[in-house]
Amino acid sequence: MVIKLNMTSGTPIYMQLRNQIILGISRGDLPLGERLPTVRQLAADTGVNTMTVNKAYALLKQEGYIEIDRRHGAKVVAPGALEGDGLEKLEDELALLIAETKLHGMDRDRFLQLCDNLYMGTAGHPGEGTT
């Protein structure tokens, strides 16, 4: 799976890395159980700071997308169902997105259609996709 980082973007590198890995998992490019390079391997090979990669991996682990093993590196795992704080965070982010969409004059049907298209586009469930 190929990840593209924009070094001049306002989004921090660790967040770009985290986002792209999540997108890869959802598309099925990174199936369940797929190994990821270790923090050191990834940092050494890309020239990105070790702390940056570590931060991205720590975030992915905290959010339940990967497991980190000291000897074997990281591995993609199935995240648990959204509940509690996770669900609350999703509701907050969605509320903001819906507000922005409404302010830009997009109607409900178009918004839902767009959501549906994007959901289907990234619809591969972990473990079902191809690399």
Interface residues with another protein (CB under 8 A) are 1-9, 30, 35-37, 41-49, 131
Residue closer to another protein by CB (options 35, 102) is: 35
Specify the residue, 72 or 110, whose C-beta has the smaller distance to another protein: 72
Cβ atoms 17, 58 nearer than 8 A: no
Let me know if 2 is exposed, middle or buried by CB neighbors in 10 A (0-12, 13-18, 19+): exposed
Nearer to another protein, 110 or 121 (CB): 121
Residues 52 and 42: their CA atoms lie apart, in Å, by 10
Minimal distance, residue 2 CB to another protein, in Å: 5
* Tokens read off for 57: 């991996």
> What minimum distance in Å lies between the beta carbon of 107 and another protein?
32
Smallest gap from Cβ 67 to another protein, in A, equals 16
Q: How far is the CB of 6 from another protein (least distance, A)?
A: 5
Put the strands of the sheet holding 73-76 in their side by side order. 35-36, 73-76, 66-69
